[in-house]
Structure 1
Amino acid sequence: IYSKDLIIELAGSTFIFHGSIAFFFGTFTALLTAFYSSRLLFLTFFGRPNGQKKIYELIHEPSFIMSFPLIILALFSIFFGYIFKDLFIGLGSSFWGNSLFIHPQHSVLVDTEFGLPVFFKLLPMFGTIFGIISAYFFYQYSINVLFDAYFLFNKFSRNFYKFLSNKWYFDRISTATVGGLLNFGFISFKTLDKGIIELIGPSGITYTLFFFSKKVTSLDTGYVPHYLLYIVISFIFLIFF
């Protein structure tokens, strides 16, 4: 949490256009992260069961070998940033030494600490709270009333819900684009690589040499008159051509 908040605050402390854009999208991303994380929490632990009974009968608590690392990670994720924030990113801290070089013109830690208004520092937290409340409202408080009454009878809402349920149609778009490219690659591979190029190149040359070598080998009959005929024909060819 502390590292992400610092990144957002550093973006807002640059006081330039692309820094403001990064600050806005970072804050909006924090809102979306809180929304879908809370949504997952509500649907998983507070929603109605949608699975099969035999699957729920197999659910059990993990062993200590799996629980212990998760407990350590949970403690560090909650308390580590609060305790060691000043050590890692505090003003005047020499923890990183020369391992991370920051040009003096690009250092905005002082502006982040003292120049950025408190409202902008708290804006990601407000977005997080708003995301949690929105997820609770949509998926816990009014899931039956909202979806049955409004989304069912509103055409725009139904289409919007369908659009989100189909994952923004990314699968269809990727299938249409990537599938077409893969099909084109297969056709070009069969036509060019395994077709014309292979016929003109290695396979064609090998077949041609094998064909002519077989024909030349058939001339080796072992009869002396045949060899004399070949010699006479060769002399005639050399004289006239």
Structure 2
Amino acid sequence: MKNILLGVMLLLAMASFAQPDTAKWVRAFPVTDYMVDISDSIRLVQVELPEGTSFKEKQLGLLKGIYRDAQQDTGTIGYGRCHLIKGHYYYFTINHKQSGRKPKAEDLLYTMMDSKPVYNGAITKLASHFIGLQEVGGSALYDRYQVFLAWTKTDENNVIDSIVSDINYTGSYFLQSDAAMNQQIKSGRFAGKGVLDVMMATGKDEVFKFLEYMAIKPNLYAGHEWKVAEIFATWLVSGAPAVIKE
């Protein structure tokens, strides 16, 4: 039991910070709605993985909630190991006695994974928390599984360019269609400016600061897929908080 708890603590610590260049990653995977209560304190949960991604038998996992209605939903639910593998389906027994919260569908299972030597940039850091980003039209900007199988600096730059273009376009579109949406930012580096004005002028530097903040403070974003222009606007209105580097 002591070894398991130490392993869980290590996973939690590693999942909370940006990860260095490595062939090992702490990654999050959503559980499905298939669940079975084994006892009052243990629930069997299922994870479905795509081709090219797999867990090992007895692999340790830490289950955390995702943001739903309140910040506390993102807390740690429990931990357990993979005890059954059936094709692309993997079954973990999660002990939730300490938290008192039973696992729910779409909660995130964090676990240590092998990875190919992919480019370690902003996108892989987001994907490690299963954070997805979409263009304003709803198309995914990257695949949250595939970035750990094949991802280059060129891929990263292409996505960043797409994010900048999407934010610029969205700001321009709404400024022309409804100028009342150009809400004045009240705090932070852009205080006094209109949110749509800032979006129209946004470049790569601001996008990197925004993505870095999401990766370091993932609780509100983890496990969801977001339209990038919308959450970028929310970030601006909230004062554009940035990571302080010592």
Verify same fold: TM over 0.5. no
User: Which structure has the higher relative contact order (CA within 8 Å, separation 6+)?
Assistant: 1
The structure with the larger Rg is 1
* Higher share in helix: 1
